[in-house]
């Protein structure tokens, strides 16, 4: 059995950042100058992150509880949950301060943004993930199956595709958005170790080819949930990455 989760706990500790210190003042000025297509793409992606990060931050608690036989693994899930909560707060800051989305709290602001997100994306985060997390609490589902959905598909494919698309869109804007870019880069840095950690959990488990094939196929489909917010070229790129990642954890049918 491959262990070594302590490395991820150390990494998490060394990569902490504070979402409240990111300067969004230039972004706030630039926001009103966006063209309609830029506005729709960026707000759509941010809306997806708000839903996604809020959901993952909530449901990681079940993962931590399910890892109770391995204290270090449980500690890493807790460190990851702390990151996800920070990501949700960062994107909420963006929708509130930069995009000016109304609402008393994150839930109300997310509701105001719902019509910008596809039902497929909402379903992945608000139905599939909670269902698998509930299964963990009832001990019906294996932790590795849940990690397969969360770390390999939702983080490794869906959120990664959106994050790269946002960085790409910010780069091409006619106006600067340095605060949003900085926060997105820091989120992406955290997500890299989350996915690395998930890959390690999968690798340590005795998954059969059939389980891995399911993760492979579902991942390949899942990135399309963003609809036209992401180009098919970017989706292909993330799909290749997903396949390479699964190959490296031991999928054998190439």
How many angstroms separate the CA atoms of 252 and 249, rounded? 9
Cα–Cα nearest to 52, from 194, 168, 162: 162
Query: Shortest CA distance to 145 belongs to which of 217, 65, 215?
Result: 215
Q: By C-beta, is 59 or 194 nearer to Fe ion?
A: 194
Q: How many CA atoms lie within 13 A of 45 on its CB side?
A: 25
Q: Give the x-and-dash track for 151-170 against Fe ion (CB under 5 A).
A: ----x---------------
Report how many residues bind Fe ion under the rule CB under 5 A.
6
x/- track of binding to Fe ion for residues 28-57 (CB under 5 A): -------------------------x----
Q: Which is nearer to Fe ion, 34 or 202 (CB)?
A: 202
Which residue's entry shows tokens 């969360």?
150
Q: Is 86 in the site for Fe ion (CB under 5 A)?
A: no
Q: How far is the C-alpha of 30 from the C-alpha of 82, rounded, in Å?
A: 30
Query: Cβ closer to Fe ion: 51 or 98?
Result: 51
* Window 95-134: contact mask with Fe ion (x via CB under 5 A): ----------------------------------------
Among 59, 87, 116, 242, binds Fe ion (CB under 5 A): 87
Binding region for Fe ion (CB under 5 A) out of 114-122, 129-137, 140-148, 185-193: 185-193
CB-CB contact of 149 with 129 (8 Å): yes
What is the enclosing helix (H) or strand (E) of 81? Answer: helix 71-93
Burial class (CB in 10 A: 0-12, 13-18, 19+), 77: buried
Q: Identify residues 55-84 at the interface with Fe ion (CB under 5 A).
A: 84
Least Cβ distance, residue 187 to Fe ion (angstroms)? 6
User: Which residues between 187 and 226 bind Fe ion (CB under 5 A)?
Assistant: 191, 194
Residue 8 per-residue DSSP state: H
> What is the binding site for Fe ion (CB under 5 A)?
53, 84, 87, 155, 191, 194
């Amino acid at each position: 059995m491959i262990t070594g989760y302590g490395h991820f706990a150390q990494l998490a500790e060394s990569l902490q950042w504070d979402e409240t210190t990111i300067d969004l003042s230039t972004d706030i000025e630039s926001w009103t100058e966006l063209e309609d297509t830029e506005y729709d793409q960026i707000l759509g992606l941010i809306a997806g992150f708000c839903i996604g990060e809020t959901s993952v931050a909530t449901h990681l608690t079940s993962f931590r509880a399910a890892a109770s036989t391995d204290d270090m693994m449980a500690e890493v899930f807790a460190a990851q949950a702390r990151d996800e909560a920070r990501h949700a707060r960062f994107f909420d800051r963006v929708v509130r301060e930069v995009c000016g989305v109304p609402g008393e709290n994150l839930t109300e602001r997310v509701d105001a943004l719902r019509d910008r997100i596809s039902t497929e994306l909402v379903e992945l985060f608000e139905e599939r993930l909670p269902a698998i997390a509930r299964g963990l609490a009832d001990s019906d589902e294996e932790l590795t199956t849940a990690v397969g959905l969360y770390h390999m598909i939702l983080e490794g494919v869906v959120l990664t595709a959106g994050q790269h698309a946002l960085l790409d869109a910010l780069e091409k804007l006619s106006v600067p958005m340095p605060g949003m870019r900085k926060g997105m880069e820091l989120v992406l840095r955290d997500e890299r170790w989350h996915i690395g950690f998930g890959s390690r959990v999968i690798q340590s488990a005795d998954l059969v080819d059939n389980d891995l094939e399911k993760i492979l196929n579902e991942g390949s489909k899942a990135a399309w949930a963003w609809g036209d917010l992401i180009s098919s070229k970017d989706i292909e790129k993330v799909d290749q990455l997903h396949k390479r990642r699964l190959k490296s954890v031991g999928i054998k049918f190439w």
